Each structure stands twice: as structure tokens, then as C-alpha cells.
Amino acid sequence: MLEPKEYKLKHKPFVILGLLAESPQGDHPYNINKKIEERGMKNWTKIGLSLSLSTIYRILDRLEIDDLIESYSEEVDNRERKVYIMKEKGWEILHRKVYTVLSEFYGKHDEDFYVAYSMFPYLPKKERIEVFTNSLKKVIEHKNELEKMLKENEKFPMNVVGLFKHPLMILQTDIEFLEWVLDKIEKGEDEFGPEAYGK
């Protein structure tokens, strides 16, 4: 069995584990699928437009085999259904994945960043500030490198110069976004519970 620090959480299990973590008393695949649909996650993650309930069951079963979650059965309307719940190892791995992804973001389009961002409330406040500050520094460094390259290539035609201008504009937006996030965290506007999700 892999130790939490050695376990590699791939994208789909990352999404599913994060959604399961929203329900400390456990949840069943139908509700997880409902969250995916309600949040339009098939459009902003790499879980795929054809993600089915049976795929969610398979992912949960794999997470259970890997000892990140456990399950129990409950009866609802005279039918038995399986409920999955997070284990300590699952919390550790989810925490590490969210922390790492948010801390290493440098402005490259990455669906894991969006997933980790949606889960940042799992991090303590100090770590929230730390990860977004780290990412902000990395994005600024990346932008500075590209600006230097642009200056070296300004003599080229628009189709080449544009290959630097476009990412620079995106990186500027990323900088503004990360500054906004840090400002909200500093003001305490990052604390919310289940009611924020309409529950």
C-alpha cells in the first residue's frame, strides 16, 4: 500500500474525492454526479462529457481499494445504496494535492488548478495565503521571462509577436485574479460553509 506522500491522485479521482469531501457524513454516487451536473464540471474539468454514474462508482471503488475512502450500506425507500465516506488517508492526499496544485500554478491552462481552486477551503488560512502567494510569484516570473523574450523578438512579424503578446495578456489576467483571491482571503471573505452551495 502506498503511503499518502507517494500516492499520485489523477484528475478524475481528484474531482470525485474533492466532491466526496464536501459531505463529511458521506455521500453516494448519485449525489456526486448531481454536483458535477449542477456545477457544469464536465465543461471546466477533464472528467469528460460522457462521465457516467457507473464511472463514478468505479472511481469510488478504486479509491476504496486504495484505502482513501470507505463505504457502508444504507436503506432508502426499501432499497439498499452504498454510501462512501472519506478516511484520514484520503484527507491527507486531497490536502497535499490541493496544496501542491495551487502552489505550483504559473499561469498555464490547467484543469487541475480549477479543481484545486474549487477545493481551497480545505486548506488552513495560512496555507491558503502561502499557496496563492507562491503562485502569484511564479506567474509574475513567467510573465517577466516572456516580456524579455518579446523584446528580443519585436522585430518579427505580427504572427510571431502575437505568440508572446497573447500569453502575456493572459498572465496579466492571472496576476489580477490571484491578487483578488489574496485580497479576499486577507479580508476573511474565504470562510463559508455548506449554505454557500445552496444546501
The 10s digit of each residue's pLDDT in 118-145 is 999 989 999 999 999 999 999 999 999 9
pLDDT tops 60 at residue 108: yes
Quote the cell numbers at residue 77: 425507500
Q: Is the pLDDT of residue 65 over 70?
A: yes
Residues 70/85, Cβ–Cβ less than 8 Å: yes
What single letter denotes the amino acid at residue 74?
E
Whether 1 shows a pLDDT value over 60: the answer reads: no
With 0.85 as the threshold, say if the pTM is over it.
Answer: no
Residue position matching grid coordinates 464536465: 42
Residue 150 C-alpha from the chain's centroid:
32
From 68, 57, 51, select the one nearest 9 (Cα to Cα).
68
- Measured between alpha carbons, how far is 12 from 27 in angstroms, rounded to an integer? 17
